Amino acid sequence: MKYVDEFRDGDIAQGLSKAIAAEVRADRRYNFMEFCGGHTHAISRYGVTDLLPANVRMIHGPGCPVCVLPIGRIDLAIHLALERGVIVCTYADTMRVPASHNLSLMRAKARGGDIRMVYAVTDALRIARDNPAKEVVFFAIGFETTTPPTAVAIKQAQAEGLTNFTVLCCHVLTPSAIMNILESPEVRELGTVPLDGFIGPAHVSTVIGSRPYDHFAEEYRKPVVIAGFEPLDVMQAILMLVRQVNQGRAEVENEFTRAVTPDGNLKAQALVSEVFELRRSFEWRGLGEVPYSALAIRAAYAEFDAERRFDLEYHPAPDNKACECGAILRGVKRPTDCKLFGTVCTPESPMGSCMVSSEGACAAHYTYGRHKDA
């Protein structure tokens, strides 16, 4: 496949593998966090860690939209479907995330909730047009990549006078999550998460640009290399991170220059700030309440805000006590450190969110990496 195969070439991978091996110093360890689930998935699916020296360790970060969605938010969507007779439109990944009362959107659907899997928010708009007598809610999740399309949909609904369409906004922000991890006691004081650098987001950075990461590199002295989601991108980024560490640099470098600029997509940013505003605080699974880490719909577009239209009240709900998703999302634990992993928690019957999405650390390890534990 043109423009894709070039970034999965096994010969180039071998060359990069040798370059990394030649670059690393034998007397130290290198611990890098890949923030995005997209990177986690690529690393697992292509077996990237097999091509890395033993002293380079990849730590999975919280950048998996489905994984960081707290139970309370899914409960709201289920409430809309089961109690309020609303058609809830959602991305397929969200369907199986466990919620309160032993429910999930999938189980709520089996109980008669009208819940539809969509590939894009435009499908939800179409469903709203086709069902004028019903309320249609789009369950909007995701980082900065999926936010502009939601903004477009809201403006489109306004232009069309589509009065039965609203959005349950759960869009979250990448820089706040990175900041939260850097400020966490595990990283700052306890040293339980030794972090030598970040692989920065691919698609998110096409929207927000590379500048937002400057702060982390300067303030926290952590190198950041923005990388694409193809396995060669990841290898190249690791090589660049190793070089920064060896040379004592902490800079933002951009491996993904074919798509990311310093300023990002200004048009998309303008659209987002026109429709959305910062929430004072938002609960993340694993990270807890994080200040100014998510978006809400501005008052000017209040009529498209499901939380306002249905007078929804958020109730936090605790995760399963034995579930380690929280610690795994912060990079404190690995999937295999969780007692539930691979026993009662599997992709078929997930207990925690990290086992649900293919970008989740647990699902990626279960599906692609289990042979390494054998």
What does the binding site for other proteins look like in residue numbers (CB under 8 A)? 1, 4, 8-10, 13-14, 17, 44-51, 92, 95-96, 119, 231-232, 346-348, 358, 363, 366-371, 374
Rounded to an integer, what distance in angstroms lies between the CA atom of residue 12 and that of residue 9?
Answer: 6
CB of 129 to other proteins, least distance (A): 16
How deeply is 111 buried, as exposed, middle or buried, from its count of CB atoms within 10 A (0-12, 13-18, 19+)?
Answer: exposed
Provide the minimum distance between the beta carbon of 93 and other proteins in the complex, in angstroms, as a whole number: 9
Contact (CB, 8 A) for 305 and 169? yes
Q: What distance in Å separates the CA atoms of residue 254 and residue 92, rounded to the nearest whole number?
A: 31
| 304 SS3 class | helix
Which of 301, 341 has the CB closer to other proteins?
Answer: 341
User: Nearest CA to 62 among 173, 210, 160?
Assistant: 173
Cβ proximity to other proteins, 163 vs 346, nearer residue:
346
CB of 370 to other proteins, least distance (A): 5
Amino acid (1-letter code) at residue 166: T
User: For residues 232 and 295, which CB has a smaller minimum distance to other proteins in the complex?
Assistant: 232
The distance of closest approach from Cβ of residue 324 to other proteins in the complex, given in angstroms and rounded to an integer, is: 20
Shortest Å, Cβ 60 to other proteins: 16
CB burial readout 206-244, b (16+ within 10 A) else e: bbbbbebbeebbeebebbbbbbbbbbbbbbbbbbbbbbb
For residues 229 and 292, which CB has a smaller minimum distance to other proteins in the complex? 229
Q: What element of type H or E holds 56?
A: strand 56-63
Pick 14 or 281: Cβ nearer other proteins: 14
Min CB(119)–other proteins separation in Å: 6
Which one-letter DSSP state was computed for residue 369?
I
Q: Output DSSP code: residue 48.
A: G
Tell me which residue has tokens 């689930």. Answer: 37
Residue 3 vs 321, nearer CB to other proteins: 3
**Cβ closest to other proteins, residue 252 vs residue 354:** 354
Least distance to other proteins from the beta carbon of 280, Å?
Answer: 34
Q: Residue 279 is encoded by which pair of tokens?
A: 């929430």
CB atoms within 10 A of CB 33: 25
